[in-house]
């Protein structure tokens, strides 16, 4: 967007805000290079907590400045409004994706996969059961080999 197409935009403030957001994001990634301090020296918090909190605050304030600088009207954002309603299958899929990690600690990873994968495939309209069984078995085996055997991570 340029000043000629949207006269409401304060270009200088927007550029400043985007620069601060980029700086805060870059410095936030730098905090991952800090060494951990032993718990008895950290006195409850690690040295990364305060800088990260300040950088998050900087990012949020710069984002507010960017939004104010853009001064977009509802008409400018009308292209974001969906032309037709969201299909029910989207909500059902989202619900299933939320329920999967909830079920995993309760009934276990592989039984949750055994329930989730066929239910999701059936919801999406897949009816080739032989192909589904083979792909589910392959996916489950891949997860087991990768996490349990290679990375030695216990699954719930």
Statement: the pTM of the whole predicted model exceeds 0.75: no
CA distances from 98 to 93, 102, 103 (A): 9, 7, 9
Separation of alpha carbons 105 and 117, rounded Å = 17
- Proportion of the chain above pLDDT 90, given as a percent: 51
**Is the separation of the CB atoms in 156 and 108 below 8 Å?**
yes
Structural element, H or E, at residue 148: none
pLDDT at position 60 is 95
CB atoms near residue 106 (< 10 Å): 9
pLDDT at position 2 is 44
pLDDT at position 100 is 93
CB atoms near residue 120 (< 10 Å): 15
CB atoms near residue 23 (< 10 Å): 14
Residue range 121-126: mean pLDDT, rounded: 93
């Amino acid at each position: 967007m340029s000043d000629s197409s949207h006269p409401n935009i304060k270009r200088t403030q927007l550029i400043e805000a985007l620069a601060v957001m980029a700086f805060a994001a870059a410095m936030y990634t730098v905090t991952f290079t800090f060494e951990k301090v032993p718990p008895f020296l950290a006195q409850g918090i690690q040295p990364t907590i305060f800088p990260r909190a300040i950088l998050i605050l900087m990012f949020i304030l710069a984002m507010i400045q960017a939004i104010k600088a853009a001064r977009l009207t509802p008409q400018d954002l009308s292209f974001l409004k969906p032309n037709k309603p969201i299909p029910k299958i989207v909500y059902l899929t989202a619900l299933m994706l939320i329920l999967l990690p909830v079920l995993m600690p309760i009934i276990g990873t592989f039984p949750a996969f055994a329930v989730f994968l066929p239910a999701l495939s059936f919801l999406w309209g897949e009816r080739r059961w032989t192909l589904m069984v083979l792909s589910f078995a392959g996916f489950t085996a891949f997860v087991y080999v990768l996490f349990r055997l290679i990375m030695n991570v216990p699954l719930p």
